[in-house]
Amino acid sequence: MKEMSKPEKRSTEVQIPIGPIYLNGNLDIPEKAKGLVVFAHGSGSSRFSSRNRYVAQELQKEGLGTLLFDLLTVEEERIDIITAHLRFDIDLLADRLVEVTNWLLSNPETKNLSIGYFGASTGAAAALIAAKEHANIIKAVVSRGGRPDLAEKALPDVKAPTLLIVGGEDYQVIEMNQWALDRLKVEQKELKIVPGATHLFEEPGTLEQVANLAGEWFKKYLLEKE
């Protein structure tokens, strides 16, 4: 059986200007990509999150571009390691995601791509708030083990099709996601539970299921013609 060749891609380290600061990121765009997924990582994590990097690589195999970036600057991360307060400043994280999206819309390499958000933990709340702010731009949102309940005020106004993925053993977060799902008004919304998975999807095969679910969602809403 002939092995399928992986799509060629351009990989770039980027510095994204946000007012007086710069956020570091990794932009990967497969050849002929039509969609781009922006990752908003969770509390205490960064663009080097092994779980998000794995999901990003799987999405790239499907022909989707990805942007993993640090929501905090190096100095902010140093402070946050001690205080842990910035990682829960959802409004700050959402504002950063909105500005990064603005940068993508003006960047020649990415301005013509359909954009979706993949949020993990507190990053999921930031993704939903930013999706509300960019209601005409963001075509899909996927949350992994997320805290969409922290985006309570934004939920009724989110227009993007939204998929919430939670581990079957992550009981408290299942309740939070069901609560948030009930408050989303968009028709295309789903809650998927991965059996046997805990909050970080560290169990064998569970992260693969996350990547498959996310890939199908993004292909449906970023790549299919409206």
pLDDT value, residue 45: 62
pLDDT exceeds cutoff 90 at 44: no
pLDDT value, residue 12: 93
pLDDT value, residue 226: 47
- Compare 84 and 192 and report the one with higher pLDDT: 192
Query: Which tens digits make up the pLDDT trace of 111-139?
Result: 999 999 999 999 999 999 999 999 999 99
| Cα–Cα distance list, 53 to 30, 44, 182 (Å) | 15, 15, 30
Query: Which tens digits make up the pLDDT trace of 71-113?
Result: 888 888 887 788 777 777 899 999 999 999 999 999 999 999 9
pLDDT exceeds cutoff 80 at 192: yes
Question: Where in the chain are the domains?
Answer: 9-223
pLDDT value, residue 5: 55
pLDDT value, residue 43: 61
Map residue 189 onto helix, strand or coil.
strand
Q: What is the mean pLDDT of residues 48-70?
A: 93
Query: Which tens digits make up the pLDDT trace of 11-36?
Result: 899 999 999 999 999 999 999 999 99
| Cα–Cα distance list, 22 to 27, 72, 131, 134, 169 (Å) | 15, 9, 22, 21, 38
Query: Which tens digits make up the pLDDT trace of 196-218?
Result: 999 999 999 999 999 999 999 99
pLDDT value, residue 1: 40
Q: What is the mean pLDDT of residues 58-64?
A: 96
Nearest to 80 by CA among 113, 121, 43: 43
Binning pLDDT at 50, 70 and 90, where does residue 3 land?
Answer: very low
Q: Which CATH superfamily is domain 9-223 in?
A: Alpha/Beta hydrolase fold, catalytic domain (3.40.50.1820)
* pTM listed for this prediction: 0.93
Cα distance between residue 107 and residue 174, in whole Å: 37
